[in-house]
Chain A
């Protein structure tokens, strides 16, 4: 076989592998979207219906009519707010660790070790505390918790990105007349913008996907969509249409966010790979 032929075959094999993997991973998502548009008959039909007869939105309308869709809003509020707070506090902490060697050599490692605590180990003590403080089933309660759980991750990632910034850039700004806070705003943030976005997305996704804390710490007021989905699994029957529609609603925001920030996401991940 000529070199050129061999190259062509190799390329073809690669494409086949890529397509196969993509189909494998995308199929559940495709199936989820399809179910959300199906009628009850189509859901249980055998052989399965690959494409619903009509893209009817009844399953979604029910969620909005009953107020279940508000749980997606709850998730947005809780995940969004905790992400903003964690990013702000975390980046400042990371700056302090990276530039002033706050806490000596080991504080940074200790902080990331906090991330390794299994949520299930702390969720009940926290529940008792929250009962005491009246934080159960409140936005503030969940926001506090997600912020606390995401901080170690934000600090660790941002510390890596900040360490990558040449210190002379900051020193030049200090000499030129800027304060530390201005340096943070005018030099550090622009220099690690990709890292900021990538870290924020992962932070958001963690809070967005959380189930165990939301399950234990909410009742009716601030139920998140992950908990709401489980309400449709009944003792007698499962409401597959509602489960699928609610899951789609919960997936869409992530699709949108990642779609807009894909550029930063890829760059942020590869940047962090060096030192993160």
Chain B
């Protein structure tokens, strides 16, 4: 059963067309992340689901009921806001109880629910304090507590971690995911951070300019992006894109790079690409699919490339090496001790099984 179904949704702000035709179904119990750059419409979409914005076209169904004309309080949702949205003149306890009191929950039930939520979030000792006495991480826990005490059908998170520092963000990410596993509720989470999206989501909905660019499981989007935008958005460091030409090579097909090197493509790709022979394409390969060649490595689909590493950026476990193909810079994710000094010429292998070929006009992955 779908807990949320959106059909043909449009939203305008004056002349700005913020949401341009969204169709989306979210099954019960799933953790869905809406991700995209700022201005892609993800927050607008979430606020429209909440009823804080009106839909200009299309329908929104929550649990098989069209809710377009229902006020936010009638939609049976709970929401966590980016800036916590806690009431400064109320204690933590009263803040969490606020939504329960609106629904005339008996006093004893309120106390029980708050005790349980507080234990889950580790904020039991803060209940009598005021928001101004709490740290950012504690504030966010309280805000989450206020949402989870409500037995809502749908839980919405609007960039809840973006005000926290990096370490706290990592910690809270895990905690929200654990909460989802314990509660089994349908959650929709908005973020611009692709790492949050990858690590937390059952399903990612990647938005661009008010439309869904691609939706699916995190690894599906990562491994089989349908457009150049998706391929470039997910992954850090991001995918390398090179101008190339699709040519015949060794009785099959290959990509000829700007410097004339031809990288043969695995036979499995030939059928889909046959029509593009002798045409310009964009060749995409992730940094972790370029590595140092080792003698005797004869796995199929590996292409060799000889490069001069111009820049080394060690991160500890990995080292990012930058080299040039023609005028374009390419980043390779090497093992820590693969290359010891810059301007060294090394033999690299590119995993062509994982590389993608993009039509430069439509930006679609072929």
Contacts and interface: CB of A to CB of B under 8 A. Distances in A.
Interface centre among B50, B71, B102 (most CB of A within 10 A): B102
Interface in A151-177: 166, 168-169, 171-177
A179 interface: yes
Interface string B79-120: 101110101110000000011001100000000000000000
A187 B146 CA distance: 16
B81 A168 contact: yes
Interface centre among A168, A172, A173, A179 (most CB of B within 10 A): A172
A177 B72 CA distance: 7
A176 B71 contact: no
A174 B85 contact: no
Q: Which range contains the number of A residues in contact with the other chain?
A: 10 to 19
Question: Which 9 pairs between the two chains have the least Cβ-Cβ distance?
Answer: A177-B102, A176-B99, A168-B85, A172-B85, A168-B81, A177-B73, A174-B72, A175-B79, A175-B72
A148 B59 CA distance: 45
Interface in A167-211: 168-169, 171-179, 182, 187, 190-191
Given A179-B71, A190-B89, A173 B98 contact: yes
The majority secondary structure among interface residues of chain B is: loop
A166 B73 contact: no
Contacts of A178: 73, 102
A175 B87 CA distance: 14
Given A174-B51, A175-B73, 14 more contacts: A168-B85, A171-B72, A171-B81, A173-B102, A174-B73, A175-B51, A175-B79, A176-B98, A177-B73, A177-B99, A177-B103, A190-B89, A191-B88, A191-B89
Interface string B126-160: 00000000000000000000100010000000000
Contact of B52 (A171, A179, A190): A171
B87 A176 contact: no
Interface of B: 50-52, 71-73, 75, 77-79, 81-83, 85, 87-89, 98-99, 102-103, 146, 150
A29 B279 CA distance: 93
Contacts of B71: 174, 179
Interface centre among A173, A176, A182, A187 (most CB of B within 10 A): A176
Contacts of B85: 166, 168-169, 171-172
B78 A168 contact: no
A166 B73 CA distance: 19
Interface in A40-67: none
A177 B77 CA distance: 9
B82 A176 contact: no
A176 B50 CA distance: 11
Contacts of A190: 87, 89
B110 to A, nearest CB: 13
B216 to A, nearest CB: 29
A176 B73 contact: yes
A175 B78 contact: yes
